[in-house]
Amino acid sequence: MAAETGQNLFEIAYPLFQRVNDNDFEYVYRGYFDHSITKKILFLADTNIAKVTHQSQATLQKRIYYIMVEGLQNITHHQEEIANDREFDKYPGIFAIQKNGEKYFISTGNIVANDKIENLKSKLDIINSLSPEELKKIHREILSNGNISDKGGAGLGLIEMSRKSGNKLLYSFEKLDEEFTYFYLQTLIPTDASYGSREHGSHSSLESVKQLHKQMNADNILLYFNGFFNQENLLSLLSIIKSRMNMPLTTIKISNVMVEMLQNIIKHGCKSSPETAGVSGMFFLGQSGNETILTSGNIIPNESVKMITERLNFVNGMSKEELSDYYDDILLDFDTADAKKTGLGFSDLRIKSDRPLKFKFLPVSENEQFYLLQTSVKTKK
């Protein structure tokens, strides 16, 4: 079963990457959310936003950041409401940023108890019916009195998301079973020129979030990250993994393998421009039985394909004992003349995962290819 799941994740990796990019996703995180993890997500997402906003757009960046905070708090709030049953472990949430032209879309998806839906829907409809002046007035009432009028029967966080964006909140409910429903929420954040127009978000972009979420759930992807990778955000990604996994010894092994895979993206990937904050790519974890499957993907130049292929074939062709001996030798001989024997990182990855490294190259342009790499780690509780 684990092998079948791994093969499936290997086959869907590039279509998944295409789907994310074709739908204008700047950043996607699918997994478990808590206060510690959301701090890391905010850092990673804000890093991605910073790469495309200029000094003149500082107000826009602050507005986006504030709505990201509120959206992530909304997810954790609903998880905490049902935390006693721990049911949310079965239904991981999703957080996504899309950019279409000059507009940003912040979307979240998380489970809510079915008996909360009518009240939540009523709050959202009230917010969407109010003018900017009315929202401002209700906001002042909440801060000064600690309560709100009948007309403003909505949570402060949702009110603030609408106020800060200047737009209405787009939402959708997808029933899961007799107890729970997925609640999807999207906020449109425009540039200053159209701020305060009270638009809805985009039904098509929210639908793309829902479909992406559905696919990730179906394929049992525990954690998915799409965005820009660099040495700085590598540490935050590792922190998320450690917070997400609940098996200490296994977490160390997965973290070690993950470091090598992320370093591989950073080392070989193409930058979209000199100003880019890192290398564009994706990384995700899947699980089946006692196997955690790690998959990475990124764009590389054509001239790197031969070298990477030779190094991967070299380490895959050795037995465990041969690989261990080779690794010890290469640590003492960095000046080896054999090009096939310079892949120290691949050797380390092969040793730590104790699995062959699966890889594939797919043409994406005349000069570039999509480089897919996958391995797995056996997890024992």
Phi, psi dihedrals of residue 99, rounded to the nearest 5°: -130, 120
Q: Average pLDDT, stretch 212-226? A: 86
The long-range contacts involving 42-46, CB below 8 angstroms and separated by at least 24 positions, are 42/68, 42/69, 42/72, 43/233, 43/236, 44/225, 44/227, 44/233, 44/236, 44/237, 45/95, 45/97, 45/227
Work out the mean pLDDT of the chain and round it to a whole number: 81
* Least confident segment among 33-47, 114-128, 191-205, 344-358: 191-205
Q: What is the pTM of this model?
A: 0.81
Coil, helix or strand for 276? Answer: coil
Q: Is the pLDDT of residue 154 over 80?
A: no
Residue at token pair 């939402």 = 171
Q: Is the pLDDT of residue 344 over 50?
A: yes
Convert the pLDDT of each residue in 264-300 to its tens digit: 888 888 776 555 567 888 898 887 778 889 999 999 9
Convert the pLDDT of each residue in 314-326 to its tens digit: 999 999 888 888 8
- pLDDT > 90: percent of the chain: 26
The residue among 120, 108, 112, 30 whose CA lies nearest residue 73 is: 108
Helix axes 344-353, 320-331, angle to 10 degrees: 140
Residues in the chain: 381
Strand partners, 228: 280
Q: What confidence tier does 190 reach under pLDDT thresholds 50, 70, 90?
A: confident
Coil, helix or strand for 87? Answer: helix
Which H helix or E strand runs over 304?
Answer: none
Which H helix or E strand runs over 71?
Answer: helix 58-81
Q: Is the pLDDT of residue 337 over 50?
A: no
Q: Is the pLDDT of residue 358 over 90?
A: yes
Convert the pLDDT of each residue in 22-53 to its tens digit: 888 878 888 878 888 888 888 877 776 765 55
C-alpha torsion sign, points 14, 224, 89, 353: positive
Q: What confidence tier does 360 reach under pLDDT thresholds 50, 70, 90?
A: very high
